């Protein structure tokens, strides 16, 4: 299992206000917007940030997303190591297979892979 992408998840109360702010910093392309979560990207560099108002299905919001090539293996390894699973391995309706795990420092991490 390997990490293929990391995305910062910042809390916002207003996705549109966040879009305007991050646009001023060059993150002008809306890569995804589901109303409660949106990603703003630089078309030149690919740099991005994701904002979340409140996760649609998980009991807590995550501070970051780590996309992996094998989310099932990551889930099994997290369980084997005894890490706290905050949100179980789930096929979400928007095309992601994911789970949330708490890091030893208390951060909630969204571990995900797009379903093919």
Q: Which of 81, 75, 80, 83 is nearest to 103 (CA)?
A: 83
pLDDT at residue 27 in the model: 96
Which structure tokens are listed for 16? 């549109």
pLDDT means over runs of 10, the chain (116 residues) = 93 96 96 94 94 94 96 98 98 95 97 90
DSSP the chain: --EEEEEEEEE-S-HHHHHHHHHHTT--EEEEE-SSEEEEE-TTT--EEEEESS-SSSSS--SEEEEES-HHHHHHHHHHTTPPEEEEEEE-TTSEEEEEEE-TTS-EEEEEEE--
pLDDT at residue 112 in the model: 97
Map out the domains of the chain with their CATH numbers.
3-114 (3.10.180.10)
pLDDT at residue 1 in the model: 87
């Amino acid at each position: 299992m390997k990490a293929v992408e990391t995305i910062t998840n910042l809390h916002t109360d207003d996705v549109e206000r966040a879009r305007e702010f991050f646009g001023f910093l060059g993150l002008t392309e809306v890569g995804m917007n589901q109303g409660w979560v949106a990603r703003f990207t630089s078309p030149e560099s690919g740099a991005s940030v994701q904002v979340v108002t409140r996760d649609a299905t998980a009991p807590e919001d995550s501070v970051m997303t780590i996309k992996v090539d094998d989310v099932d293996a990551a889930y099994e390894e997290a369980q084997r190591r005894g890490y706290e699973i905050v949100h179980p391995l789930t096929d979400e309706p928007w095309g992601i297979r994911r789970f949330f795990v708490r890091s030893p420092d208390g951060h909630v991490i969204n571990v995900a892979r797009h379903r093919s």
